[in-house]
Amino acid sequence: MNTKTFGGGKKPSERPSKICPVCQKPFAWRKKWARDWENVIYCSEKCKKTRA
């Protein structure tokens, strides 16, 4: 796993982030999303379940 290309080893403020299409809030890269960051769309399971 190559986390250095995304958030690994960086300060939280320097990690990539996205905007959740449901709640319109920004969310940052997390280690558990390291392998699948390109496909992460929602910030949480709650937003994923309430998507329009």
List the domain boundaries for the chain.
Answer: 3-49
Residue 34, C-beta contacts closer than 8 angstroms, at least 6 positions apart: 1, 3, 6, 7, 8
- Per-residue pLDDT, averaged over 18-46, amounts to 93
Round to whole Å and give the CA distance between 3 and 21.
25
pLDDT at 1: 52
pLDDT at 51: 78
pLDDT at 12: 76
Higher pLDDT, 51 or 43: 43
- Per-residue pLDDT, averaged over 17-39, amounts to 93
**What is the helix (H) or strand (E) element at residue 46, kind and residue range?**
helix 45-49
